[in-house]
Amino acid sequence: MNTALLELRNISKRYPAVLANDRVSLQVLPGQIHAILGENGAGKSTLMKIIYGAVQPDQGDIRFDGKQVHIRNPQQARALGISMVFQHFSLFDTLSVAQNVWLGLDKSLSLAEVSRRIRDKAAAYGLDLEPDRPVHTLSVGEMQRVEIIRALLCEPRLLILDEPTSVLTPQAVDKLFAVLRQLVAEGCSILYISHKLHEIRALCTHCTVLRAGKVTGECDPRAQSNASLSQMMIGSEPPALVHSQRSPGQLVLDVCQLSLTSLDPFGTRLSVVELQVHAGEIVGIAGVSGNGQRELLYALSGEDTRASSDSIRVSGQAVGNQGPLQRRALGLHFVPDERLGRGAVPTLSLAHNLLLTRSEAVSGSGWINMSALSAQAQNIIAKYQVKAGGPQALAQSLSGGNLQKFIVGREIDANPKLLIVSQPTWGVDVGAAAQIRAALLSLRDAGCAVLVVSEELDELFELCDRIHVIAQGRLSPSLSRTQATIEKIGSWMSGLWSDTETLVN
């Protein structure tokens, strides 16, 4: 009964700038939910890609069901009984659920047979999925069900899940955990990657910790605390955040009667959005992805200038139809959720990426002072403990968490009057997350107005003075942090609030 389903022996993988995996060994037993825990850049994603056949190791052995195997590609992994659900979905919006699932299955099956199997599997696991629905009509939680159903139809013996709850409401997380426990009861093993320590403690029965590509410990997470898991992962416990009470100052961001159709044909229409953020306060917006967050952020940052001028005001000035440059001149800085492509240019150095939003190193005649630019980038790298090969390191060479620290640091270092941050710690380890949140609180205490859009409810409860919820393009009234509860916010994330609720000013 204790024969390992999966065994890795001394797996190593080196890239030009980093040793991603350094002689990693681990075992996954049948019917086990096994967590892989580690800070950003610890080598978790590389290791999962090796197991799934998407990356080949430089050395080491893989044994599956007691036999040595060489997994050359994901197709071979699925043939062995290994399935993986990635954090970012790979679905075609214009196709139906059944058509998307069919693309990953044996083409000898008819579409009608695939639809039947989807209904049977959905019924067996209580996943509530209609095969004929176009994917663009699904919520994010329903899209994740499509990915899980597609994996389950391969009858996996080992299921790999990468940050599976990052886009789910608390109620949907409970439902997912019930499905996973049912799978385990039927003999499936699960490899579970998450930065949410409370989830790992609630769900997993074993945990392997990676640090700098090496295994540094194993434990039963059910017998651990968040603090002890953090200690194993990053070598210390993150300092506790201090959220002092403050009286908000003058109104900095005033959004009034903002209604906009989406630029994306499958996007969400904003409907009569009312939002105010004062100096010296952090206001949060919770919600399941795809409910209008992107449309709202584009309108606030100036990427979308179709709004009426008076519908968005910054420090009293109407900016609804002005672009990012004009808004930045008023002190508005913005951190998008898309790190590579919007927050940073992948093929440019960190120093050159500063020029996207900062101009201190540019002379009045347009010349760039490269030594000043490099010094500015080095200061941010040092201040925010960014693991990078210096100011000339390419943005794409950094791990997601380290690039996030650099981008957040770049905008905070500009001393903004209004900072709008989307998903500030998405996919970031607990140490880096604590550092980013502390920096945001310090900025608020210095008198900046801060708006945080996040799908991490724990993050919003830690940071915010007031919290709104966005659902189907509508913005709820705000709740003070003392009034907000996980249950109430979770209910509002489904659009279940009354417009007569008392607004907290």
- For residue 265, the tally of other CB atoms under 10 A from its CB is 9
Residue with tokens 């629905």: 133
Tens of pLDDT, residue by residue over 184-242, are 999 999 999 988 888 899 999 999 999 889 999 999 999 999 888 888 887 766 677 77
pLDDT of residue 499: 66
Supply the mean pLDDT for the chain.
89
**Cα–Cα distance for residue pair 83/190, rounded to 1 Å:** 10
> What share of the chain in percent tops pLDDT 70?
96
Which SS3 state, helix, strand or coil, does residue 332 take? strand
Helix 370-383 × helix 400-412 angle, to 10°? 110
- For residue 382, the tally of other CB atoms under 10 A from its CB is 10
pLDDT of residue 207: 96
Which SS3 state, helix, strand or coil, does residue 325 take? helix
pLDDT at 257 over 50: yes
pLDDT of residue 166: 67
pLDDT at 427 over 90: no
Selection from 158-172, 268-282, 288-302 with the highest mean pLDDT? 268-282
pLDDT at 492 over 70: yes
Residue with tokens 């499905």: 179
Tens of pLDDT, residue by residue over 357-378, are 999 999 989 999 999 999 999 9
**Cα–Cα distance for residue pair 140/471, rounded to 1 Å:** 12
DSSP 169: -
Selection from 75-79, 158-162, 182-186, 446-450 with the highest mean pLDDT? 446-450
- For residue 126, the tally of other CB atoms under 10 A from its CB is 10
pLDDT at 1 over 60: no
pLDDT at 132 over 90: yes
- For residue 247, the tally of other CB atoms under 10 A from its CB is 7
With cut-offs at 50, 70 and 90, classify the pLDDT of residue 305: very high
> Which H/E stretch holds residue 272?
strand 270-278
* Structure tokens given for 224: 């651990």
Which SS3 state, helix, strand or coil, does residue 49 take? helix
pLDDT of residue 504: 46
Work out the average pLDDT over 318-338. 95
Region of 166 on the Ramachandran plot (φ > 0 left; ψ -120 to 50 alpha; else beta): alpha
Helix 170-185 × helix 111-125 angle, to 10°? 100
**Cα–Cα distance for residue pair 299/307, rounded to 1 Å:** 7
Least confident residue range of 202-211, 310-319, 416-425, 427-436? 427-436
With cut-offs at 50, 70 and 90, classify the pLDDT of residue 441: very high
**Cα–Cα distance for residue pair 127/143, rounded to 1 Å:** 11
- CATH code for the domain defined by 238-331+416-505: 3.40.50.300
Residue with tokens 């940050």: 163
Tens of pLDDT, residue by residue over 166-189, are 666 677 788 889 889 999 999 999
Tens of pLDDT, residue by residue over 269-280, are 999 999 999 999
pLDDT of residue 502: 46
Tens of pLDDT, residue by residue over 373-384, are 999 999 999 998
**Do 6-234 and 238-331+416-505 fold alike per CATH?**
yes
Tens of pLDDT, residue by residue over 2-51, are 689 999 999 999 987 788 999 999 999 999 999 999 887 788 888 999 99
Least confident residue range of 114-118, 341-345, 374-378, 395-399? 395-399
pLDDT at 395 over 60: yes
CATH class in words for 6-234: alpha beta
Please say whether the beta carbons of 37 and 209 come within 8 A: yes
Please give the residue that has the higher pLDDT: either 418 or 456.
418
Work out the average pLDDT over 343-349. 94
DSSP 394: B
Tens of pLDDT, residue by residue over 447-485, are 999 999 998 888 899 999 999 999 999 999 999 988 999
With cut-offs at 50, 70 and 90, classify the pLDDT of residue 505: very low
pLDDT at 432 over 50: yes
CA angle (55 as vertex; 87, 208 as ends), nearest 5: 65
CA angle (93 as vertex; 468, 159 as ends), nearest 5: 85
**Cα–Cα distance for residue pair 267/293, rounded to 1 Å:** 10
With cut-offs at 50, 70 and 90, classify the pLDDT of residue 89: confident
Torsion of CA 275, 455, 196, 92, to 10 degrees: -170
Least confident residue range of 53-57, 200-204, 335-339? 335-339
Residue ranges covered by each domain of the chain:
6-234, 238-331+416-505, 344-410
Tens of pLDDT, residue by residue over 139-153, are 667 888 898 889 889
Work out the average pLDDT over 298-318. 96
